[in-house]
Amino acid sequence: MADEKKYVYDFSEGKANMKELLGGKGANLAEMTTLGLPVPFGFTITTETCDSYYKNNKKYPAGMEKQVDEKLILLEKKMGMKLGDPANPLLLSIRSGAASSMPGMMDTILNLGLNDVVVEGLIKKTNNERFAWDSYRRFIQMFGNVVMEVEHKDFEAILDKKKETKGIEYDTQLDANDLKEIVSEYKAMIKKKTKREFPQSPKEQMFMAINAVFGSWNNDRAILYRKLNDIKGLLGTAVNVQSMVFGNMGDSSGTGVCFTRDPATGENKFYGEYLMNAQGEDVVAGIRTPQKLETLEKVNAKAYKELCDVRAKLEKHYKDMQDMEFTIQEGKLYMLQTRNGKRTAAAAVKIAVDMVNEGLIDKKTALLRVDPKSLDQLLHKQIDPLSKSKHTSVAQGLPASPGAAVGQAIFDAEKAYEWAEEGKKVVLIRTETSPEDLIGMNAAQGILTARGGMTSHAAVVARGMGKCCVAGCGDVIVNEEGGYFEVKGQRVKEGDYVTLNGTTGELFIGQLPTVDPELSGDFGILMKWADEVRRLKVRANADIPRDAIVAIKFGAEGIGLCRTEHMFFEGERIKAMREMILADDVAGRKKALDKLLPYQKSDFKGLFETMKGLPVTVRLLDPPLHEFLPKEEEDIQIIAKEMGVTPEKIKEKIVKLHEQNPMLGHRGCRLGITYPEITEMQTRAIIEAAIELKDEKLVPEIMIPLVGNVEEFKHQKEIVKKTADDIISKAGSKMKYKIGTMIEVPRGALTADQIAEEAEFFSFGTNDLTQMTLGYSRDDVASFVPEYIKLNILEKDPFQVLDQTGVGQLIKMAAAKGRGVKSDLKLGICGEHGGDPSSIIFCHDAGLDYVSCSPYRVPIARLAAAHAALKEVKSG
Ligand code: ADP
Ligand code: MG
Ligand code: MG
């Protein structure tokens, strides 16, 4: 077997860059060994072994066992001890470790190699009876749990009973005799539960443990963790077999974890926790409260100093913040693990900028170190992380818009507004929201809906406002009339406090403390670096000056989508709008539109003024008209009076306007085609506003929605052009403007070459494009998409993360067809995907000019666009 595959590497053979094969833990243990750090020796069984183990019906590949035996002999030689030798026993730790770190997800077994005989030998050798029994007790517990699958609580019950009879609080207070008794009780319990003896052969123990680690790769926890963290394409876990060092040998021994910098704030300060007279799992298990790392200096100055040296050495070597595990055995320091430490978004930003300033890394590396998505944490109010662990949520919805909201439950938009006016903090709770709820949404701290997906009305509007929103919270049953909601048998009434976590989708009853975001100077610096490397421009979706101001503050370079209909809901406007819809003829509509014109004009003026010459794309009226119709009797009365007709007449009209499928009905450019006077009025408002501003840089971009046929576009273009040119020439102005379209109907994408002959720009409306390409109603996805994701039919919600294989093809094709006709055709995206990092990378690769997203996502988009550019350079 000359060319037998190598399945086992000892720590002197590996390197940090062999993570795929050795797992992160194994690769770094090898790297630290080579660096000369005090690492207990051992060897790693590769991830490939795990892969073939699974492919081979849980059998080892040929030759692997022999290689393990050889490395074990080497290990025994190095340590001068032997596995299972009572006179001089070698004890082992068996540790999992995949290429991506999955902390705590898979299993570790410590003190392996002990049995009824070896434990006596260990006592003789160390002259420390308590230590030996403590180790055996721990071993049986871990092995019994992980390998023999006896529940943790069965061990805890025995341990707790012993502590209770002794009247003590901590494990460390148990003496050798107690521990010895516990050992035999454990063994008896295992025998009873599993009908098997606790295995006494150390070799057998070792292979059983190796199997268990391989098995843990596919435990539920690990599978879920990989899914949640997008970890894909790995071979499996490696298994590290390492000689033990003992933190439980008494008060001069201990164990701990530490970070080279503070993982919460990023501050360049040594941070960690440890426990004396303890083994690994004790620190995390919270049995005793661990000590702050700084105090270790007093306990053992020499070990502390050594640890500080390791800190400096490792950070310099890895050029990133390290998360390390160490053990002190009778005063001597050993390193057991190092990896790039997980950190909060704030820490990630600070560490990245600091490390550039310290000359450790360059700006590009710094940019790639910060996950664009994580910036959300910095831009919104958050639930105080300290309090999070103390509260449990009552229900889980979709994390529709990040941040935290605490306030009194309100079920009516008007009322939410009134309460907010009185200075109360409210959370608006609805089965689902409609544009009529805007006033309440705006006044509320946050919004909770029982139905709807990530691009439901509530979700889109809340993100635009930068307001916390939990959508599609199916366990919540809202009774708007009754003024309460029920969740899992609990009733929450109007005025009761609730807390939302829009970042995770959780709902809490009661008030949780929150913390405000703080945008540090480092954040601005990092953003500036991002701007230096990105090619994609970033615009914002904003309808009113207030949102535009936020957008500019976050670095938007224009407005990619101004949804004109959002302006129609406030105060008097909705009345005029309703009049327009309900009018019987052109004259009636014109009369109503004349009332709307001054509002629209002043809105546009405000928006143009705020944007100071930056591009602004205004979309003509788009939504189905029924959204504006009056529903309440009272509103119907008012409108009837206004129009001088009977309420019955209005009701008749409402019935007539009813559509089976409003999303596929009379909306978008179909409105402007059937009612050209709407297009005319809106064009007039845009152009007059622009002219009055006298800003030479200003070139309004007028966007025709929902075009699927070039004739539709031509029809609307003619009206816009005629109206605009007329106004411009009468005003003696030289103002320029552009007319373009949304590509959001599949047929629009398919015929993009024809449309490009006429249009000056395309903006991909990926919300509608996704809806129509997949045939999923975006307001109804909550009923099946979560199940699709669970079943792996869909990987992600296509309304959050662009379906690159399907919808993406249409985008690429339309971009190519469009540019084939007009090489300088400006291309953008204005759907919700414009703020999603992976979709932004797609847009970069598809050659788009800009992405447009809600104002609060602008920084995320800037950084994601930088990542796209950097990754392209790297791979190309
Ligand atoms: P995880 O991946 O869950 O962190 P580890 O394999 O790192 O699991 O093991 C958990 C803990 O067990 C370590 O933090 C360490 O304290 C302890 N441990 C692991 N290997 C050894 C060893 N060789 N000697 C002493 N303690 C160990
Ligand atoms: Mg660990
Ligand atoms: Mg649309």
Single-letter residue type at 438: L
With beta carbons less than 8 A apart as the criterion, state whether 629 and 662 touch: no
pLDDT < 70 stretches in the chain: 1-3, 104, 283-288, 388, 455, 518, 873-876
Structure tokens at 143: 């092995």
Distance 326 CA to ligand 1 centre (A): 9
Distance CA 216, CA 214 (A): 5
Distance 217 CA to ligand 3 centre (A): 44
Distance 768 CA to ligand 3 centre (A): 5
Give the dihedral of Cα atoms 502, 503, 506, 510; nearest 10 deg: -60
Distance CA 756, CA 825 (A): 8
The closest alpha carbon to 295, from 304, 283, 285, 286, belongs to 304
Residue 93 Cβ contacting ligand 1 at under 6 Å: yes
Residues 6+ apart with CB under 8 A from 45: 7, 8, 64, 68, 210, 238, 239, 240, 241
Which residue(s) pair with 292 in the sheet?
273
Give the ligand 1 atom nearest the CA of 92: 23
Out of 110, 213, 273, mutate this one to test ligand 1's pocket (max ligand atoms within 8 Å of CB): namely 110
Note the pLDDT of residue 774. 97
Distance 30 CA to ligand 2 centre (A): 15
Residue 248 Cβ contacting ligand 1 at under 6 Å: no
Residues 6+ apart with CB under 8 A from 324: 257, 258, 259, 260, 272, 310, 311, 314, 335, 337, 338
Give the ligand 1 atom nearest the CA of 255: 16
- The catalytic position among 457, 566, 715, 844 is 457
The closest alpha carbon to 402, from 517, 281, 538, belongs to 517
The closest alpha carbon to 172, from 183, 159, 181, belongs to 159
Distance 88 CA to ligand 3 centre (A): 75
Q: Is 8 helix (H, G, I), strand (E, B) or coil?
A: strand
Give the ligand 1 atom nearest the CA of 40: 23
- Let me know the angle formed at the C-alpha of 603 by 599 and 609, rounded to the nearest 5 degrees: 145
Residue 75 Cβ contacting ligand 1 at under 6 Å: no
Residue 337 Cβ contacting ligand 1 at under 6 Å: yes
Residue 610 Cβ contacting ligand 1 at under 6 Å: no
Distance CA 84, CA 404 (A): 56
Measured by CA distance, the residue closest to atom 8 of ligand 1 is 108
Out of 32, 94, 105, 108, mutate this one to test ligand 1's pocket (max ligand atoms within 8 Å of CB): namely 108
Q: Over 46-95, what HEC string results?
A: CHHHHHHHHHCCCCCCCCHHHHHHHHHHHHHHHHCCEECCCCCEECEEEE
Structure tokens at 259: 């970070």
Distance 329 CA to ligand 1 centre (A): 14
Q: Decide if 867 is catalytic.
A: no
With beta carbons less than 8 A apart as the criterion, state whether 826 and 852 touch: no
Distance CA 614, CA 617 (A): 10
**pTM exceeding 0.75:** yes
- Residue pLDDT, tens place only, 505-559: 999 999 999 887 767 799 999 999 999 999 999 999 999 998 999 999 999 999 9
The closest alpha carbon to 322, from 246, 375, 268, 384, belongs to 268
Q: Which residues surround ligand 3, an ion (CB under 5 A)?
A: 744, 765, 768
Measured by CA distance, the residue closest to atom 14 of ligand 1 is 280
Residue 110 Cβ contacting ligand 1 at under 6 Å: yes
With beta carbons less than 8 A apart as the criterion, state whether 252 and 300 touch: yes
Distance CA 333, CA 254 (A): 9
- The catalytic position among 468, 562, 830, 843 is 830
Distance 95 CA to ligand 1 centre (A): 7
Out of 39, 325, 326, 332, mutate this one to test ligand 1's pocket (max ligand atoms within 8 Å of CB): namely 325
With beta carbons less than 8 A apart as the criterion, state whether 12 and 33 touch: yes
Residue 95 Cβ contacting ligand 1 at under 6 Å: yes
Residues 6+ apart with CB under 8 A from 656: none
Q: Which residues surround ligand 2, an ion (CB under 5 A)?
A: 337
Measured by CA distance, the residue closest to atom 20 of ligand 1 is 93
DSSP state letters, 663-675:
GGSS-THHHHHH-
- Let me know the angle formed at the C-alpha of 851 by 846 and 855, rounded to the nearest 5 degrees: 160
Residue 244 Cβ contacting ligand 1 at under 6 Å: yes
Distance CA 270, CA 291 (A): 14
Structure tokens at 206: 């070792």
Distance CA 243, CA 655 (A): 79
Single-letter residue type at 428: L
Rg (CA), the chain: 33
Which ligand is in closest contact with the Cα of 280? 1
Out of 337, 338, 339, 342, mutate this one to test ligand 1's pocket (max ligand atoms within 8 Å of CB): namely 337
Q: Is 9 helix (H, G, I), strand (E, B) or coil?
A: strand
Distances (CA, A) of 752 to 359, 459, 495: 49, 30, 52
Q: Decide if 830 is catalytic.
A: yes
537-541 and 514-515 beta bridge pairing:
unpaired
Distance CA 27, CA 43 (A): 10
Measured by CA distance, the residue closest to atom 16 of ligand 1 is 280
Measured by CA distance, the residue closest to atom 6 of ligand 1 is 95
- Let me know the angle formed at the C-alpha of 95 by 304 and 261, rounded to the nearest 5 degrees: 35
- Let me know the angle formed at the C-alpha of 775 by 676 and 506, rounded to the nearest 5 degrees: 105
With beta carbons less than 8 A apart as the criterion, state whether 213 and 96 touch: yes
With beta carbons less than 8 A apart as the criterion, state whether 701 and 724 touch: no
Distance 767 CA to ligand 3 centre (A): 6
Distance CA 866, CA 532 (A): 8
Distance CA 650, CA 638 (A): 11
Place of tokens 């792996």: 792
Note the pLDDT of residue 54. 94
Distance CA 675, CA 650 (A): 19
Out of 11, 145, 336, 339, mutate this one to test ligand 1's pocket (max ligand atoms within 8 Å of CB): namely 336
With beta carbons less than 8 A apart as the criterion, state whether 855 and 828 touch: no
The closest alpha carbon to 770, from 848, 823, 829, 712, belongs to 829
Measured by CA distance, the residue closest to atom 15 of ligand 1 is 280
With beta carbons less than 8 A apart as the criterion, state whether 4 and 62 touch: yes
Residue 280 Cβ contacting ligand 1 at under 6 Å: yes
Other CB atoms within 10 A of residue 391 CB: 17
Which residue(s) pair with 409 in the sheet?
427
Residue 104 Cβ contacting ligand 1 at under 6 Å: yes
CA atoms in the 13 A half-sphere facing the CB of 769 = 33
Measured by CA distance, the residue closest to atom 12 of ligand 1 is 280
Sheet with 237-243, side-by-side order of all strands: 8-10, 42-45, 237-243, 92-98, 108-112
Q: Is 506 helix (H, G, I), strand (E, B) or coil?
A: strand
